[in-house]
Amino acid sequence: MAVIKIQRPKLRFGEKIYLTALCKGFFLTLRHAVKSLMGKSMGAKDLASSGLGVTMQYPEQNWDAQLPAYYRGAPALVTDEQGRERCVACQLCEFICPPKAIKITPGEIPSADPWAKVEKRPAAFAIDMIRCIYCGMCEEVCPEQAIFLRKDYVILGTSRKEMVHDKQKLYAIGGVRTGLVNKWNELK
C-alpha cells in the first residue's frame, strides 16, 4: 500500500489567529443550547423528548407506547381462553435457564379435575427476577406455549424475597392469552 500524503488544509488569516474561530464556536454552542432549550434538538421528536434536549424524563414519561413487539420483559405464565393453566411442569425451562432463575415444584392434577389427563401442573413456580437475564430461552423451549416474556420492565422490591415472582404473580402478569394451540382438547 502506497503512502498517501495528505495536505493539511491551508488556513486563512482569520483562522490562523484563532479568535474568529473561537467566536464562531461560541455561537455554534449557543445556537445548539437554544435549540435544545426549545426542544428542537436533532432527533428530539423521534426520541419522544420531554422538550429539553432529547431526554425522555422517565417516571413522568415512558417508552411503553414505542416498545417493539419483540421486546423481552418479565417472563410470565399464561392461561388460555378455557381458563386452563398452560404449564404442565415439564421443567424444561428450569433446566435451560442460563442463570438458573426458575424453580418449579411439579404437582399432580387430581382425577376429579376436567383436565385430569394432563396429569401434571406446577404446585409452585418461582422466577427470581434478580437472576433473570431476560434471554427468552424459557419461552423458546416451552413445548406448551405456557411461558412468555411480557413487556413489563418495572420490577421493584425492597428485599430479595420480594424480587422472586411466585406462581400467583406470574399468572397475574401473564394473564389470558388467546389463539394458542390447544393440543389437550378433545378432537371433534
Partner 1 sequence: MLLFLLLIKIVALTFCVVLPLVPVSVYFERRFCAVIQDRVGPNRVGIPLTLFGFKKDCGILGIGGLIQPIADGIKLFLKEDFTPNHVRKAFYWLAPALTVAPALITACVIPFGTPITLFGHTEKLVIADLDIGPLFIFAIASITVYGITIAGWSSNSKFPFMGGVRSTAQMISYEIALGLSIIPVLLYFGDLNLSHIVQQQADHGWLLLPLWGHDASHPLTEKLLFWFPAAIAFLIFTVSIFAETNRMPFDFPECETELVGGYHTEYSSMKFAMFFMGEYAAMVIGSALVVTVFLGGWSLGFGTDSWISNLSLGGFGYGGLIHLAIFIAKVVAFILFFILVRWTIPRFRYDQLMKLGWVIFFEAALVNVFLAALIVAAPHLQGTIISLGALLLLIVTAAIIWVAQVSEAKPNNLRA
Tell me if 89 contacts partner 1 by CB under 8 A. Answer: no
Report how far residue 139's alpha carbon sits from residue 144's, in angstroms, rounded to the nearest whole number: 10
Interface with partner 1 (CB under 8 A), residue from 25, 99, 157, 175: 25
Of 31-50, binders to partner 1 (CB under 8 A) are 32-33, 36-37, 41-42, 44, 50
- 74: nearest Cα among 53, 114, 45, 101: 101
Grid coordinates belonging to 100: 438458573
Closer Cβ to partner 1, 36 or 94, answer by number: 36
Tell me if 61 contacts partner 1 by CB under 8 A. Answer: no
Tell me if 175 contacts partner 1 by CB under 8 A. Answer: no
Report how far residue 157's alpha carbon sits from residue 163's, in angstroms, rounded to the nearest whole number: 5
How many helices, marked H, and strands, marked E, lie in the chain?
Answer: 5, 5
Report how far residue 89's alpha carbon sits from residue 96's, in angstroms, rounded to the nearest whole number: 14
Find how far residue 84's CA is from the centre of its chain.
Answer: 26
Stretch that binds partner 1, among 24-32, 71-79, 97-105, 131-139 (CB under 8 A): 24-32
Interface with partner 1 (CB under 8 A), residue from 14, 16, 29, 154: 29
> Do 165 and 127 touch, CB atoms closer than 8 A?
yes
Tell me if 55 contacts partner 1 by CB under 8 A. Answer: yes
Tell me if 20 contacts partner 1 by CB under 8 A. Answer: no
Question: In the complex, which residues of this chain contact partner 1 (CB under 8 A)?
Answer: 22, 25-26, 28-30, 32-33, 36-37, 41-42, 44, 50, 52-55, 57
